[in-house]
Homo-oligomer: A and B are copies of this chain.
Amino acid sequence: MEDLSRLFNPSSIAIIGASRDPSKIGSQILRNLVEYGFGGKIYPINPTVDELMGLKCYPKVSDVPEGVDVAVISVPSDKVLGVIDDCGKAGVKFAVVITSGFKEVGKEELEEELVRRAHSYGIRVLGPNIFGYVYTPARLNASFGPKEVISGNVAFISQSGALGIALMGYTIVENIGVSAIVSVGNKADIDDVDLLEFFEGDPNTGVIMIYLEGLAPGRGRKLIDVAARVSSRKPIIVIKAGRTEVGAKAAASHTGSMAGSVAVYESAFRQSGILMAKSVEDAFDWAKALAWNRMPEGENLVVITNGGGAGVQSTDTFADNGVYLKRPPEGLVQEIKRFTPPFASFTNPIDMTGMATDDWYHRATLAALKDPEVHALTVLYCQTAVTTPMGVARSIVDAIKDSGDSKPVTVGMVGGPGVAEAVSFLNKQRVAAYPTPERASAAMSSLYAYARAREYVVRSLGIS
């Protein structure tokens, strides 16, 4: 059996089910694949058409004169087995089965036969019942989700279809670059474990996020072992659908897969260093912070604000997450005292007061990043009349550049219409920014949570 390298870096992809009808799922996938700029060969397969999107069509995969690495299959479920036979004949290595109508509608046997037959040809199966997959380093978007996925280093695995596609869109709005998005659907063959093993070694992936509903019987132990090993190198964030007993029942009725006991999952995830997110917002907030920052080298986290209230909210959020602010280094205090008024506060958070200007943000951020005793920085901003959100955002970006350093930074900005633009600007510069102090603080906390998780798995695995 192949490992998954060729699935993500294929030389050629065949699309079975593309047609002249642009509303067909196969046609949408073909369009995404062509327009997103896949560099390998693309073969639309359709027995009644000569050409689609300027590409020559072939009646069957086995008619393609060269080898085909990946076959994306979007034909009615009763035709899938026949297509697999033809893929076997053509030497296809991966079948990406978009088609639904298998185990999720009670057709377990059809699904088992699909995998049995594929394996008899040495073909591995992604799906069935999926929206496709994306791998941005290869400019490969073989999905019927949004086209203009932003490239970056977050890999996202989704067991959910509609939610997964919607979250593809969410990554675009939130400016979160992805290395991969993989719809796993019924997980008849390739599952989270296989994908974790691939992303473990993938230099383009820095953070792995999984929307997980359930696991096939017997795969739980394997997932924990692999996740523990991967966690020692890269953070894994899991949104576990069915965290609660009633949620687990809802998940079971949705997927037909056992969602498993809540307590068992929680303890297993902890053991394997997985960060559990309760909501999609949390998961993506953390992914952004983890993807765009290196890890803090120590516990000295400094918070800078222009509003005491934002500082208190931040302190509470950090405490909720087991992160406690220490006194700021004296050198930093002296530096910031040079331009702030006497009633500024120098416990941590450092409150520059509502008089803070764009320039103060620049100087304070720069001073904190240059201070060898500071390990991480959260900058908070409340919109005031003496600043603009964009001015402050630019000050922060400039200070990060001017520092010549790469300490972890998160930013929380609260205010009116200009704030969304400033947050988006920061995110485009890969500075993890959020519209509230609490989200910026929870995101920074996720770095410390991962540091603790990594330490735990490294120790328990005996790796050093």
* A residues apposed to B, CB below 8 Å: 28, 104-105, 144, 146, 158-170, 172-173, 211, 213, 239, 241-247, 250-251, 253-255, 278-281, 306-313, 315-320, 324-325, 342-343, 345, 347, 349, 351, 353-354, 382-385, 414-417, 419-420, 435-439
Say how far A337's CB is from chain B's closest CB, in angstroms.
16
A213 partner residues in chain B, CB cutoff 8 A: 309, 312
A384 touches B309 (CB 8 A): no
Q: Give every chain B residue within 8 A of A438 (Cβ-Cβ).
A: 278-281
Q: Collect the chain B residues with CB atoms within 8 Å of residue A253's CB.
A: 345, 347
Q: For A351, what are the chain B residues with a Cβ–Cβ distance below 8 Å?
A: 254
User: Which residues on the B side are within 8 Å of A319 (C-beta)?
Assistant: 244-247
Closest to A105 in B: B343
Q: Do residues A307 and B173 form an inter-chain contact, with CB atoms below 8 A?
A: no
Instruction: Give Cα distance in the complex from A169 to B104, angstroms.
Output: 47
Q: Of the candidates B255, B325, B419, which one forms a contact with A173 in the assembled complex, judged by CB atoms under 8 Å apart?
A: B419
- Asked if A170 contacts B414 (CB within 8 A), the reply is yes
23 contacts between A and B (CB under 8 A): A105-B342, A144-B385, A159-B309, A160-B309, A160-B310, A162-B309, A163-B307, A163-B414, A169-B416, A173-B417, A211-B309, A239-B313, A241-B312, A244-B315, A246-B319, A246-B325, A247-B315, A250-B349, A254-B311, A254-B351, A255-B308, A280-B437, A281-B438
Q: Which residues of B contact A160 (CB under 8 A)?
A: 307-310, 312
Expressed in whole angstroms, the Cα–Cα distance for A213 and B351 within the complex equals: 16
A309 touches B170 (CB 8 A): no
Q: Which residue of B lies closest to A162 (CB)?
A: B307
Smallest CB separation, A245 vs chain B (Å): 7
Contact of A312 among B251, B354, B437 (CB under 8 A): B251
Which one of A160, A254, A306 has the greatest number of beta carbons of chain B within 10 Å? A254
Least CB distance from A165 to B in Å reads: 6
Asked if residues B172 and A417 are in contact (CB atoms below 8 Å), the reply is yes
| Known contacts A253-B347, A324-B246, A161 near B416 by CB under 8 Å | no
Asked if A165 and B384 sit within 8 Å, CB to CB, the answer is yes
Beyond A170-B435, A246-B325, list 17 extra A-B contacts (CB 8 Å).
Answer: A144-B385, A160-B309, A162-B307, A162-B384, A165-B354, A166-B384, A169-B415, A169-B419, A213-B309, A213-B312, A239-B313, A241-B312, A246-B324, A250-B312, A253-B347, A278-B316, A280-B414
Interface pair A436/B162, CB less than 8 Å apart: no
Residue of B nearest to A159 (CB): B309
Asked whether B279 lies within 8 Å of A317 as measured between CB atoms, the reply is yes
**Are the C-beta atoms of A162 and B382 separated by less than 8 Å?**
yes
Q: How far is it, in angstroms, between the C-alpha of A345 and the C-alpha of B255 when the chains are bound? A: 10
Task: Choose among B241, B246, B281, B416 the residue that contacts A168 (Cβ–Cβ < 8 A).
Answer: B416
Whether the pair A173, B278 counts as a contact (CB closer than 8 A) is: no
Chain B minimum-CB-distance residue to A343: B105
Residues of B within 8 A of A144 (CB): 385
* CA of A313 to CA of B173, assembled, Å: 20
> Which residues from chain B contact A162 at a C-beta distance below 8 Å?
306-310, 353-354, 382, 384
Q: How far is the CA of A96 from the CA of B324 in the complex (A)?
A: 38
A166 cross-chain contacts in B, Cβ below 8 A = 307, 310, 382-384, 414-416
Which residues of B sit under 8 angstroms from A325, Cβ to Cβ? Answer: 246, 250
- Given contacts A172-B417, A385-B28, A308 and B247 within 8 Å (CB-CB): no
Residues of chain B within 8 A (CB-CB) of A159 are: 309
Q: How far is the CA of A317 from the CA of B250 in the complex (A)?
A: 12
- Find chain B residues with CB under 8 A from A281 CB: 435-436, 438-439
3 closest residue pairs by CB, A with B: A169-B416, A160-B309, A162-B307
The verdict on A247 contacting B312 (CB below 8 Å), with A161-B307, A279-B438, A307-B162 known, is yes
